[in-house]
Amino acid sequence: MLELIISIIFIISLGGVLFILAKKIPVLNTLPQKGSTGIKKHKIILDVENWAKSILLALEKKIWLHKLLSWVKIMTLKLETRIDHLLHKLRKKAQEVDKELKKKSK
């Protein structure tokens, strides 16, 4: 007797689920197939996703390393230019000193 009652409740519940599902099938067919939801449409979520993608892309392409090496190269060239100017000044002074010594020795 108890099994009969449980079976009837199960069949009625299964029928109710099938009835609700049959009414919702047209609505379910209109949903996008890819599974995107409405929350991704918000600007804040899109901004965060784009920011994360740009950071991952920068890390993947090693853009930060490129920028660091470019900066080091520029600083090296600037330092090399300054050293070159100092060397030219020293050589010019050395030539002047040589000229003065030659004048004094004559």
Q: Residue 79: its pLDDT value, please?
A: 97
Domain boundaries, the chain: 62-106
Q: Residue 38: its pLDDT value, please?
A: 57
Q: Residue 41: its pLDDT value, please?
A: 65
43-96 confidence digits (pLDDT tens): 887 888 889 898 888 778 888 888 899 999 999 999 999 999 999 999 999 999
Q: Which residue has the higher pLDDT, 40 or 65?
A: 65
Q: Which residue has the higher pLDDT, 30 or 86?
A: 86
Whole-prediction pTM value? Answer: 0.43
How many angstroms separate the Cα of 41 from the Cα of each of 29, 97, 99?
20, 77, 80
61 CB-contact burial (10 Å; exposed 0-12 / middle 13-18 / buried 19+):
exposed
Structure tokens of 48? 């965060």
Structure tokens of 30? 């209109």
3-state class (DSSP) for residue 53: helix
Q: Which residue has the higher pLDDT, 18 or 57?
A: 18
